[in-house]
Amino acid sequence: MHYKNISAIRMSIILLIVAYTIPTDKTFFETFFNKFCAYPGGLSRIWIGFTPYCLIYSAKGAEVLLSNPKYLDKTVDYEAMQPWLGTGLLTSSGKKWQHRRKMLTPAFHFKILEDFVEVFNQKSSKFVSNLLEKADGKPFNIFPFITLCTLDIILETAMGSNINVQETPNLDYVESIYEMGRLVTDRQSRPWLQIGFVFKLLGYARRQEKCLKILHSFALEVIKERRRERNMVRMNKIEFDDDVLGKRKRLAFLDLLIESSEQKETLSDEDIREEVDTFMFEGHDTTAVSLNWTLYLLGRHPEAQNRVHEELDCIFGNSERAATPSDIREMKYLECCIKESLRLFPSVPVFGRGLKDDLIIDGHVVPKGTNAIVLTYRLHRDPEHFPEPNSFRPERFLSENSVRRNPYAYIPFSAGPRNCIGQKFAMLEEKVVLSTFLRKFRVESQEKMSDLKLTLNLILKPEKETVVKIFSRK
């Protein structure tokens, strides 16, 4: 299966079909996962515009690609994010990526992450209190409430900005994040928008420029203010105080970058801004959609929800105290539910690598210059590794049931050298938010899984609102 053997005529036909049959996010999702992933062996090939793609949806193929340090560069599709994120950890490659990854890894040490639990608890409590008036059994869309909660969390943990977006959701910064997500998705899924003058002619460039001005200005102002505060302490103009610098544990990510720039690294404010914006982008919407799907699935499976309630009651009893790190470690079945939700609905259902060397998968040669795309949504539903793959069965992830599974059969946070640096952060956050919610409420989901329509808007979202009913457990 060598790409160079495809005839020019066949290549042109594929180009035209793909380029002009992906006008919407919904069609984009259905085209990739229903039409192009129907071949045995977990491997297929397509062209989008003039660019060749190899689609990988087997554990064996994912392992060959992701475990090899030769294949660390992202695909050209990620260039659509660069106006916003620059060449930070998500979009960079080569020595810059290796250097940044090594520099940022200490910020995600489990001891530092446990210090964020206080923020998780505070924001989760606000999330629950905002839902109290909804606990009347009437259907409503819960996803906007979840999104604001995760955005609130990431603003404080990444930037130290406690601006309470759950109380003031219509901030320009919040709206600009949502708009940039839409613009990036449009440009990635519509080949004609990757042509600069077309992107500008159709008004996308103007919308992007407006968003970037707001997003970048906010991040740079936070960084400059943080530097000013540190300088004031250093010059002994004021006494050291947690209220001045902010508790270090809440600002480990930004502090690490600033300290590196002051001590041994040549990081400008713009370099720091790239990484802060990257963490903001990767750390709120992906977590929000994972929380959304977990609550949806628990609402469809009351027996699993009852088991979570029993687990939480054993941990907390009738207490309303905040969760501690030791409590979180006891939430073993809740963690299984989160993992099973990420299996069925991975927050990032596709991710890619640009090949600079030939890739050989099961005897098939994928030539350099191809974009290799791992389709986690399809990979996670392989019946070889997950019997009854469309069923919600959290018990799959109990230790005794997953110990022999191929580690590349389940990769919601990618895998190998370039896996997600924030996956432990995300799991801690989700366990706190969900446990806070489920200690207070019982949830029922309205829509059947078979009726769900999915869209790919950077992350895996439902086409329609996530309509649920919630009831007070007391």
Residue 109 pLDDT > 90: no
374: left (phi over 0), alpha (psi -120 to 50) or beta: beta
Domain membership of residue 79 as a residue range: 3-84+121-472
The domain total for the chain is 1
Bridge partner list, 361: 364
On whether residue 100 sits in a domain, the answer given is no
**Two tokens, residue 203:** 């008004």
Q: Is 336 annotated as a binding residue?
A: no
Number of Cβ within 10 Å of residue 205's Cβ equals: 17
User: Which DSSP symbol is given to 412?
Assistant: B
On whether residue 464 sits in a domain, the answer given is yes
On whether residue 90 sits in a domain, the answer given is no
On whether residue 429 sits in a domain, the answer given is yes
265 band by pLDDT with thresholds 50, 70 and 90: low
Q: What does the pLDDT read at residue 61?
A: 96
- pLDDT of 115-141, one tens digit each? 899 999 999 999 999 999 999 999 999
Q: What does the pLDDT read at residue 252?
A: 58
On whether residue 215 sits in a domain, the answer given is yes
- The HSE-up count of residue 87 (CA atoms within 13 Å, CB side) is 12
- The answer to whether residues 468 and 445 touch, using CB atoms and an 8 Å cutoff, is yes
Residue 364: CATH number of its domain: 1.10.630.10
Q: What does the pLDDT read at residue 27?
A: 60
Residue 93 pLDDT > 70: yes
On whether residue 17 sits in a domain, the answer given is yes
On whether residue 159 sits in a domain, the answer given is yes
Residue 250 pLDDT > 70: no
Q: What does the pLDDT read at residue 105?
A: 87
- pLDDT of 420-467, one tens digit each? 999 999 999 999 999 999 999 999 998 998 888 888 767 898 888 889
On whether residue 108 sits in a domain, the answer given is no
- pLDDT of 340-380, one tens digit each? 999 999 999 999 999 999 999 999 999 999 999 999 999 99
Closest CA to 55 of 38, 74, 70: 38
